[in-house]
Amino acid sequence: MVLAGDQAAQAYATAEAIDAYQQALALQNEVEDFDPIRGAYEGLGSVLAFANRIPESLETYQALLALAEEKGNVAAQISALNKLASTVALR
């Protein structure tokens, strides 16, 4: 699902990318590896920002930050904070 979202985003198929990332996030409790989950959050936040859905993008990055803090994943925390800052700058 994350790969499908990435491919749709690269093709500027925003609605399809959002759908694919959301489907991937719906399965996050079934996945042990954090990297695909992080990719889904990051991809969704990026596509939402591209679609000028800034509040939703910020919510997505905040959810990633909370999950990364829960998992103790410092790299994902830094990434989420950077993406939050970049997205806030778009306002």
The mean pLDDT value for 50-74 works out to 97
pLDDT at position 1 over 90 = no
Percent over 90 (pLDDT), the chain? 91
pTM assigned to the model: 0.94
Cβ neighbourhood burial of 85 (10 Å; 0-12, 13-18, 19+)? exposed
pLDDT at position 66 over 90 = yes
Mean pLDDT across the chain: 95
The mean pLDDT value for 35-58 works out to 97
d(CA 23, CA 36): 12
pLDDT at position 91 over 90 = no
